[in-house]
Amino acid sequence: MSYQDRFIATDGLIAHLKPFVNTITDTAIIANYAGFLSVSAVTVYELAIKDIFIEFAAKKNKVFGDFVDIHFSRINGQIKLQDLKNVHVKHFGEKYFTKFEANLKKRETIVLSTTRKDMRSSYSNLILCRHAYVHKGFPTLTFKEVLDNYAIGKDVIHSLSDAMKR
């Protein structure tokens, strides 16, 4: 499965919820939808990240692929940008770390010029929103902000995918 296929679940949920949420006037219910959507979004990020690393390793060597598959079955929640860079990518070698950072900078410039939003912050804020919703019962972003941050945060995942190639 391509890592991009992981986005289908949340993209479908957005297509279903977006017109519906716009008709709701109760801010507490809208906040719950924002939190619910942040959980879905971060889940597909995590699954996509696992797919990227597993596919990379499997292309190198079957045994390595099996090892990485088992290793990444336990990364639950460890997908903050610093975790990606310093815990995960760095273990594959400096070459991939450097490529990932270069890809982030390149995409960051494009995202900033087209959306006026910071890609790294959008990605991080979505993860923080999910955490706040799951552990404290309230999201830290509005429904619209969750939508925007999810779309922009995908560029972090695409940067990772582009970096984890020979």
Backbone conformation region of residue 116, classed left if phi is above 0, alpha if psi is from -120 to 50, else beta: left
Residue 93 is predicted with a pLDDT of 92
How far is Cα 38 from Cα 129, in angstroms, rounded to an integer? 7
- Give start and end residues of each alpha helix (H) in 26-118: 27-60, 62-72, 81-82, 94-115
Query: Which residues constitute the domain of residue 126?
Result: 3-163
Query: In this structure, are residues 38 and 139 in contact, taking their beta carbons and an 8 Å threshold?
Result: yes
The helix (H) or strand (E) run that includes residue 122 is: helix 119-136
Number of domains in the chain: 1
Residue 72 is predicted with a pLDDT of 82
Query: In this structure, are residues 99 and 163 in contact, taking their beta carbons and an 8 Å threshold?
Result: yes
Say how many C-beta atoms besides its own lie within 10 A of residue 135's C-beta. 8
Q: What is the pLDDT along the chain (166 residues), one digit of tens a residue?
A: 799 999 999 999 999 999 999 999 999 999 999 999 999 999 999 999 999 999 999 998 899 888 888 888 877 778 999 999 998 999 899 999 999 999 999 999 999 999 999 999 999 999 999 999 999 999 999 999 999 999 999 999 999 999 999 7
Residue 74 is predicted with a pLDDT of 73
Residue 70 is predicted with a pLDDT of 86
| pTM summary value | 0.93
